[in-house]
């Protein structure tokens, strides 16, 4: 026998402990009070809505997949380039020095920047989505397009590299 899922708690009973805009602690304030730090009104219904939870979950999923893809791209580029330099250095001793290995590390930083962005978006997903939803007229929480663009690019590059399309 299956039990019905628990009913959602009405938004009026859910306490928002931090301001979704500036992260100021709202611990000792009334539930309907504005944030004293930034002065914004807190839409508790939007902040606790199922659409908000779905948008946050989707954003975190995109970020997780993107982080994995970009890490694999960075590690494979760094590993293959370092191995190639080591092999070349064995054939031509002294031709490739520490500066060449350091250059490979700096070129790998191109793939490290999206990792840092995705980690930040993953950590602050609820606040970012809430701020964007508050700016829209219809207040619909959605996954930001930049999250999909950066992490989708990482996934596409990883798939193309695995298929042998990219060297």
Question: What is the reported pLDDT for 48?
Answer: 79
| Domain boundaries along the sequence of the chain | 11-48, 49-163
Question: What is the reported pLDDT for 4?
Answer: 63
Question: What is the reported pLDDT for 11?
Answer: 46
Question: What is the reported pLDDT for 13?
Answer: 47
Question: Per-residue DSSP letters for the chain?
Answer: -PPPPPPPPPGGG----B-TTT--B-TTS-TTPPPTTT-----HHHHT-HHHHHHHHHHHHHHHHHHHHHHHHHHHHHHHHHHHHHHHHHHSTTSS-HHHHHHHHHHHHHHHHHHHHHHHHHHTHHHHHHHHHHHSSS------HHHHHHHHHHHHHHHHHHHTS--
Question: What is the reported pLDDT for 80?
Answer: 85
Question: What is the reported pLDDT for 39?
Answer: 82
Question: What is the reported pLDDT for 76?
Answer: 86
Digitized pLDDT (tens) for each residue of the chain, 167 residues in all = 566 665 555 544 455 677 888 878 777 777 777 888 888 887 777 887 888 889 999 999 999 999 999 999 888 888 888 888 888 888 888 788 888 888 888 888 888 889 999 999 999 898 889 888 888 878 888 888 989 999 998 888 888 888 877 66
Question: What is the reported pLDDT for 123?
Answer: 92
Tell me the pTM.
0.74
């Amino acid at each position: 026998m299956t039990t019905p899922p628990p009913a959602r708690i009405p938004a009026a009973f859910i306490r928002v402990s931090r301001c979704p805009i500036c992260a100021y602690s709202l611990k000792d304030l009334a539930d309907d009070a504005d944030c004293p730090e930034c002065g914004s009104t807190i839409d508790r219904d939007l902040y606790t809505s199922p659409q908000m939870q779905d948008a946050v979950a989707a954003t975190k999923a995109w970020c997780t997949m993107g982080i994995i893809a970009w890490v694999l791209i960075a590690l494979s580029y760094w590993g293959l380039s370092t191995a190639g330099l080591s092999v070349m250095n064995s054939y031509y001793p002294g031709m490739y020095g520490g500066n060449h290995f350091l250059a490979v590390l700096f070129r790998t930083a191109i793939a490290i920047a999206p990792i840092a962005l995705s980690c930040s978006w993953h950590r602050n997903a609820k606040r970012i989505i809430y701020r964007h939803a508050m700016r829209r007229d219809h207040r619909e929480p959605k996954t930001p397009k930049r999250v999909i663009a950066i992490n989708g690019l990482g996934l596409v590059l990883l798939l193309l590299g695995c298929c042998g399309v990219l060297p």
